[in-house]
Amino acid sequence: MTFALNTATENFPRHIMIEAPTPLTRLNRISEHFDIDLWIKRDDLAGPTLGGNKTRQLEYYFGAALAKGADTILITGAVQSNFVRIAAAVAAALGMEAVLQLEHRVNNETESYKNSGNALLNKMFGARIIYYPKGEDENGADNALYQEAERLSKLGKRPYVIPLGENSPPLGALGYVNCAAEIVAQAGQCQFDEVVVGSGSGASHLGMIAGMKRCSPKTKVVGSCVRRNKTLQKERLVIMSKNFNDMVEEDIISDLDIQLWDGALAPGYGILGDAATTALKLLANFEGQVVDPAYTAKVFACIVERCSDMQIKKGSKILFVHSGGLAGLFGYQNELVKIFS
């Protein structure tokens, strides 16, 4: 199902990669445990090679790239980035060259983190790997990509850069406008009180807000911070929301719509803390569902912790958006072995 904010949105080129809708299923045992009505949106099944929510975003970036006749994709992200990995897979399927710029965002990276999971898959897809030395300099990372794109252009290539910085039009957010409409259609007459999503780059979060405001305006969208604290993330999303509104030519997202929680962020990006560990174990032991330590464990922790301190009322209908990232589990295997031994 496709949903457009206005007729202008329908004109954005899109390369469809997902067999929609992804499943929406109830988590029965955890629902009973917390006395809520808890569901999971299985976007971990979206797209190629272990899937993930970034596929929805990349449908629009690859749509734009193909419309411009690009033969090379350039993208930046962390060593275990799902965004980067899916871009590499799609580029391989389309016969395009992929240039992946990896940033060292996690302190004290282990050998398994640097060489397994998504990092290994990137190499298997035949991508060219380059590195950016700073892990918290998105504008600098984007500039480095544009410089590489300029170099490739001089060699006769037709590069397309997928930017990460907050000042670029958040084209990928359109994918989660579609996801919101998909969720509303699946839920039918009994809509969700709250949808919980990850909030890192912010595109999925903003798209979900925009989609829900149009499709189910009473549904609250809460973003669980996975990279920066809620103060810094709010500043980022305020900038991005204005860019989104300009992009779709409609004032759909306001500052008041941006609701954030950062209770599982500690001890930092890509590092598994107590709240995320508890959430990861609960979901595996009660429902046989697996989440990754860097993102989705911290998103599910937003539900677990807020149920425990009664911020989520009993009887509420809550949706957890599983954004994938399962390939990244292998980058944390030493930690996980200790947790589950």
Measure the CA–CA gap between 172 and 181, rounded to whole angstroms: 16
Tokens 């389309």 map to which residue? 94
Q: Nearest to residue 5, comparing CAs of 178, 121, 148?
A: 178
Distance, in Å, from the CA atom of 322 to the CA atom of 25, rounded to the nearest integer, reads 11
Positions annotated as catalytic residues are 81
Helix (H) or strand (E) holding 318: strand 317-322
Answer yes or no: are the C-beta atoms of 154 and 74 closer than 8 Å.
no
Q: Where are the alpha helices (DSSP H) in the chain?
A: 28-34, 54-67, 82-94, 111-115, 118-124, 138-154, 173-187, 203-215, 230-248, 274-287, 296-308, 333-339
Distance from C-alpha of 173 to C-alpha of 258, rounded to nearest angstrom: 14
Torsion angle (degrees, nearest 10) of CA 2, 20, 324, 27: 110
- Separation of alpha carbons 137 and 228, rounded Å: 13
Strand partners, 131: 102
Rounded to 5 degrees, φ, ψ at 28 are: -65, -45
Of 89, 33, 83, 76, the C-alpha closest to 57 is 83
Residues 6+ apart with CB under 8 A from 132: 76, 101, 102, 103, 140, 141, 144
The residue length of the chain stands at 341
CA 307 – CA 30 distance, rounded (Å): 11
